[in-house]
Copies of this chain bind each other. A is one copy, B any other.
Amino acid sequence: MTTWKIGDREEIENLVSQEMINLFAQISGDNQPLHTNPAYAATTKFGGVIAHGCLTAAFISAVLGTRLPGPGTVFLKFELEFKLPVRPGDKITAVAEIIELGEKGRMTLRTFAHNQDGNVVAEGRSYVIAPR
């Protein structure tokens, strides 16, 4: 049985591409031109395409589901604040760190993501039941 402790941390880096954003638009149904049309997006205040916020959420979720606490994790609750836009070409590192351990495998993690400049793009908490 795996033993976890407060402060345990895992991360995964992801390179965001326009193709990835297009696929995310197709799956989610959120096909706003701000995500999928570079020419249109260039005319907005963002100055170019930005990724769906939930793409960053998906990167974080992948850390929880594959690394910490890993395969078999049951997701109970997810909270995420969006801080900065994510663009094609950004390297987004999703991070999970245990901040609280409860009974029967319950744990709370600080989950966040930063870009290649070290700026936090999204930050929150995840509540899970760890696999036995």
Q: How far is the CA of A53 from the CA of B26 in the complex (A)?
A: 17
Q: Quick check: B53 and A75 within 8 Å, CB to CB?
A: yes
Residue in A31, A55, A61 whose Cβ sees the most chain B Cβ within 10 Å: A61
Give the oligomeric copy count: 2
Q: A32-B66, A58-B54 are in contact. Are A81 and B77 (CB under 8 A)?
A: yes
How many chain-A residues does the 8 Å CB contact rule pick out? 36
Asked if A79 is an interface residue, CB under 8 A from chain B, the answer is yes
Name the residue on B nearest A80 (C-beta).
Answer: B78
Q: A23-B23, A65-B32, A66-B31 are in contact. Are A82 and B71 (CB under 8 A)?
A: no
Question: What chain B residues lie within 8 Å of A34 (beta carbons)?
Answer: 71-72
Asked if A120 is an interface residue, CB under 8 A from chain B, the answer is no
Q: Quick check: A65 and B30 within 8 Å, CB to CB?
A: yes
